[in-house]
Amino acid sequence: MEKILINGEDLTFDDVVDVACNYVQIELGNLEKVRQCVDFIAQKVNEKEVIYGVTTGFGAKADKVIAPEDARQLQINLLRSHS
């Protein structure tokens, strides 16, 4: 089975449809960039920086600040609510 490479450069709309609707698997390219992004977000959470949907709620609850220790669970809850 073919996998779609996620490399931050050439993802197409058809690729997104294939993943979302046809269950095509993905492969992450350049894992170092992924790690840098994860580290950046973790740093901002620890610094209690306000980032919509990361350290705040969503939509009508965007003004509610999320405690750093709850930021991870917020993201898990978001994925669950959209699945």
Of the candidates 6, 5, 69, 2, the residue with the CA atom closest to the CA atom of residue 37: 6
Predicted confidence (pLDDT) at residue 1 exceeds the cutoff of 70: no
Tell me the one-letter amino acid at 16. V
pLDDT of residue 7: 87
pLDDT of residue 34: 85
- The set of catalytic residues is 52
End-to-end CA distance of the chain: 23
pLDDT of residue 13: 96
The Cα 35–Cα 30 span in angstroms is 9
* The pTM of the whole model exceeds 0.75: no
pLDDT in tens, 31-81: 888 899 999 999 999 999 999 999 999 999 999 999 999 989 999 999 998
